[in-house]
Amino acid sequence: MSEYQNLKSKLPDHITQGDVKKILAAILSENAPWDWFTRARIPFPFAVRILRELQDAGYLAFANAKTQLTPRGQTLAAELHATAEPNMTCPRCAGSGADWGALQNIFERYVEIYNARPRNENPEFDQGAMTPESLFRRLALMIHLGDLQGARVVNLGDDDLASVAIGLTGLAQSVTVLEIDERIAAYIQAVAQKYNLPLTVRHQDLTQPLPSNLLGAFDTFVCDPPETEQGLLLFVEKGLALLRAGDAHAGYFGATVMEASLAKWARWQKQLLNKHEIAFTHILPPFTEYAPWPDEKPLPDIPALATLAGRPWYRFAFYRLETLPAFQPAADFETELSQVFYFDYEGYYEAWKV
């Protein structure tokens, strides 16, 4: 029996040979264990599950504060053609291709506002904020693509205070924030008043119908949806309900492969293209980093991951879609929270459910 067949018999069906190969290549390529997840580009709980099996079956050994493949682990890697790959990501732009130097003048003010934001994030709302550098790289891209200049922008959920950064650029005609967390909504409102930014904040649960005066009223939407299949579609389709009819309106959203398999990505892409007159114009590498978040947890049973990374490791790809001439704003709808945050074995917290 090959090493892979031996390992496969211990893994659940939804974990593929490609997944195993990717995590092996990541182990060979990265010294810092939490960076394995960045490199592997597979759902976090899948990666953790594979790591546990590799460890239990003696493919992976922890010694002298270092985790390495054992000789059997190396045989397995060779069998699957997994090799070490140097990190080619541009260090200057973190793989975004964008340089936000031109926005330097507002960066410091933004960071001040960001650091003073209400913390103790509520896990119920799937919160967590990206690093200010990541946000500014996104901003630079949106400006480069002409999607903020003179635009009516809407943010669906705004843990990152992206609306504030957009407001500070002075480029957008208006920025509307739909936010479920009243503390964040109140904070953004206060910041807007203090700096005289063109921001409107509304308390909004996205599972509920949107205010009818906002439907079909925006040029650009921005959101960071949850990663369940219906969760992402809820946010993006609400975004599409808010865009104006016709072409050249843009939607931006973050999506990660750390909590969503590529099979799920394929279902999102198909669903969105089949239902709406849009095209995907960009799917950019995962340059967006999450800042360490309050309920981030280590994995005590895997020595390499028994302590927290202490620096960003959770990353997102950045999608841009653009509407076509025949585009009509999507129909608004309501749903139940249980339809959005249901059991999904690709979710982050699944890794602790052994």
Structure tokens at 204: 């909004």
Q: Report strand pairing: 250-255 vs 220-223.
A: parallel
Structure tokens at 345: 């074995």
CB of 156 to another protein, least distance (A): 22
Among the residue ranges 50-58, 61-69, 92-100, 106-114, the one whose residues contact another protein (CB under 8 A): 92-100
Residues 11-40 touching another protein, rule: CB under 8 A, are: 16-18, 21-22, 25
Structure tokens at 222: 């921005």
Residue 314 amino acid letter: Y
The answer to whether 86 contacts another protein (rule: CB under 8 A) is yes
CB of 46 to another protein, least distance (A): 13
The answer to whether 47 contacts another protein (rule: CB under 8 A) is no
CB of 84 to another protein, least distance (A): 8
Number of residues that bind another protein (CB under 8 A): 65
Closest of 206, 240, 154 to residue 341, by C-alpha: 206
Tell me if 110 sits within 8 A of 168, measured CB to CB: yes
Site string for another protein, 153-182 (x = CB under 8 A): ------------------x-x---------
CB of 10 to another protein, least distance (A): 18
3-state secondary structure of 319: strand
CB of 30 to another protein, least distance (A): 13
Q: Which of 81, 115, 212, 354 binds another protein (CB under 8 A)?
A: 81
Residue 157: phi and psi, rounded to 5, are: 80, 135
Residue 188: phi and psi, rounded to 5, are: -60, -40
Burial class (CB in 10 A: 0-12, 13-18, 19+), 277: middle
CB of 244 to another protein, least distance (A): 11
CB of 100 to another protein, least distance (A): 7
Q: Is the dihedral of CA 117, 184, 336, 220 positive or negative?
A: negative
Q: Which residues contact 170 (CB under 8 A, 6 or more apart)?
A: none
Among the residue ranges 118-126, 158-166, 179-187, 264-272, the one whose residues contact another protein (CB under 8 A): 264-272
Outline where 161-317 has alpha helix (H): 162-169, 182-195, 229-242, 262-275
Among the residue ranges 2-10, 123-131, 243-251, 303-311, the one whose residues contact another protein (CB under 8 A): 243-251
Report the distance separating Cα 267 and Cα 225, nearest Å.
15
The answer to whether 245 contacts another protein (rule: CB under 8 A) is no
The answer to whether 283 contacts another protein (rule: CB under 8 A) is yes
Tell me if 198 sits within 8 A of 172, measured CB to CB: yes
Q: Please state, in angstroms and as integers, the Cα–Cα distance from residue 63 to each residue in 83, 178, 299, 303, following that order.
A: 22, 49, 17, 9
The answer to whether 92 contacts another protein (rule: CB under 8 A) is yes
Q: Which of 198, 209, 211, 285 binds another protein (CB under 8 A)?
A: 285
The answer to whether 269 contacts another protein (rule: CB under 8 A) is yes
- Which positions touch another protein (CB under 8 A)? 16-18, 21-22, 25, 81, 83, 85-100, 102-103, 140-141, 143-144, 146, 149-151, 171, 173, 246-248, 262-263, 265-266, 269-270, 273-285, 287, 317, 322, 324-326, 331
